[in-house]
Amino acid sequence: MAGAANQHQTPESPPLLLLHRFPSFNLYFLPFLQTKYTVLDPFADPPDPSFPTLSKSARVMLCFGPTPVTSEDLDRYPSVEYVLGTSAGINNFDLAACRRRGIRVTSAGDAYSDDVADYAVGLTIDVLRRVSAADRFVRAGSWPVQNEYTLGSKVSGKRVGIVGLGSIGSRVAKRFEAFGCSIAYNSRKQKPHVTYTYHANVKDLASDVDVLIVCCALTNETHRIINKDVMTALGKMGVIVNVGRGALIDEKELVELLVRGEIGGAGLDVFENEPHVPEPLLTLDNVVLSPHKAVLTPDSFAALEELVRSNLEAFFSNQPLRAEVELN
């Protein structure tokens, strides 16, 4: 496969690096990559005339954020051996197709985990203690006029349920322990060496907690794992925080339950059809809405850059990859 590249490149040419992205997505460290690799960009401006030929020889596809990688994409780029993802979630990749072709896949691993965990805690405090609502109240000039203000609910001591106790979930748990919260969780399997209460199904978890924090990967098994039953089990005072993916929750049901006051509140960083946010949410006072930004800090970007750079070097020098996804 490297032989095909050599038809167009001298042996000393930098290795080919195929970008796979929505036109609107960019990476700030692309200029650095261009000093080390022959970067092939389908949306180069002006268009790169060598793209159609060279892209067939590229061994690495660098996939930006949520850009889907389908079986057809892999047909189009027959030399790809490695799909390098820049998201923590890789539900946008056809993993079965990658497995069939023997393509290796890496994700952003835990480059974002601290930031997402911090954000999940921030959203939880925000919903329970009504921080954004308070800010809205003050900015609207209501404080001098209305003496009464809706009370929030205490954070310390709450029962926190975590859906998906992975790299992010375990960091969320550690943070809430410092607030004197009790921790329970759901995941495919009970984790060894973890003392938190395990629930084999999400509905049981929901009936046992005050706050449900959704931070598992989106897969066929977890699609709408938070359905109406689960939310009803969480109850009228219960709060849902989603920093995973929008499709982990039945969004239509969530909106109805929130509007009818049948669950207590929600902190949502992700939605089913981003950037579309269901209209009724925009005027509710017991929700905090966020434009899929739990990962967005300069520090996360720096950690991602380091991971991408080191995985590219590792791949081209036959060293082990970090954050590789098991495909079996």
Token code pair at residue 117: 């965990």
Scan residues 160-189 and list those touching its own copies (CB under 8 A).
174-175, 177-180
**Residue owning tokens 């890496």:** 106
- Quote the CA–CA distance of 121 and 107 in Å, as a whole number: 23
Shortest separation between residue 12's beta carbon and its own copies, angstroms: 38
Radius of gyration over every alpha carbon of the chain, rounded to an integer in angstroms? 22
Can you tell me the distance from the alpha carbon of 207 to that of 217, in angstroms, rounded to the nearest whole number? 22
Active site residue 177: no
Can you tell me the distance from the alpha carbon of 156 to that of 147, in angstroms, rounded to the nearest whole number?
26
Q: Which stretch binds its own copies (CB under 8 A): 6-14, 30-38, 142-150, 184-192?
A: 142-150
276 binds its own copies (CB under 8 A): yes
Q: Determine which residue in the list 43, 137, 198, 316 makes contact with its own copies, applying CB under 8 A.
A: 137
Nearest distance, CB of residue 277 and its own copies, angstroms: 6
Q: Is the peptide bond before 23 cis (omega within 30 degrees of 0)?
A: no
Q: Which residue lies nearer to its own copies by CB, 261 or 291?
A: 291
Does 147 participate in binding its own copies (rule CB under 8 A)? yes
The one among 119, 185, 196, 315 contacting its own copies by CB under 8 A: 119
Termini Cα distance of the chain: 24
* Residue 324 phi, psi dihedral angles, 5° rounding: -75, 140
Residue 290 as a binder of its own copies (CB under 8 A): the answer is yes
Contact residues for 80 (Cβ-Cβ < 8 A; gap 6+): 18, 58, 59, 60, 61, 74, 101, 103
* Nearest-approach distance from CB 11 to its own copies, in angstroms: 40
180: left (phi over 0), alpha (psi -120 to 50) or beta: left
By CB under 8 A, which span of 61-69, 150-158, 242-250, 307-315 interacts with its own copies? 150-158
Active-site residue identified among 104, 129, 159, 292: 292
The distance of closest approach from Cβ of residue 67 to its own copies in the complex, given in angstroms and rounded to an integer, is 15
Determine whether 292 is an active site residue: yes
Which region, judged by CB under 8 A, interacts with its own copies, from 1-9, 46-54, 76-84, 274-282? 274-282
Q: Which amino acid is residue 59, in one-letter code?
A: R
Binding mask 15-34 for its own copies (x = CB under 8 A): ---------x----------
The SS3 call for residue 198 is strand
Distance of CA 258 to the CA centre of its chain: 23
The active-site residue, picked from 177, 274, 306, 313, is 274
Decide: 282 and 136 in contact? Cβ < 8 Å.
Answer: no
DSSP state of 146: -
Q: Among residues 252 and 293, whose Cβ is nearest to its own copies?
A: 293
Q: Which of 2, 4, 289, 314 binds its own copies (CB under 8 A)?
A: 289
Neighbours of 47 (CB within 10 A): 11
Catalytic residue list: 245, 274, 292
Q: Which residues bind its own copies (CB under 8 A)?
A: 24, 114-115, 117-119, 121-123, 125-126, 129, 131-132, 134-139, 141, 143-144, 147, 149, 151-157, 174-175, 177-180, 274-277, 282-283, 288-291, 293, 296-300
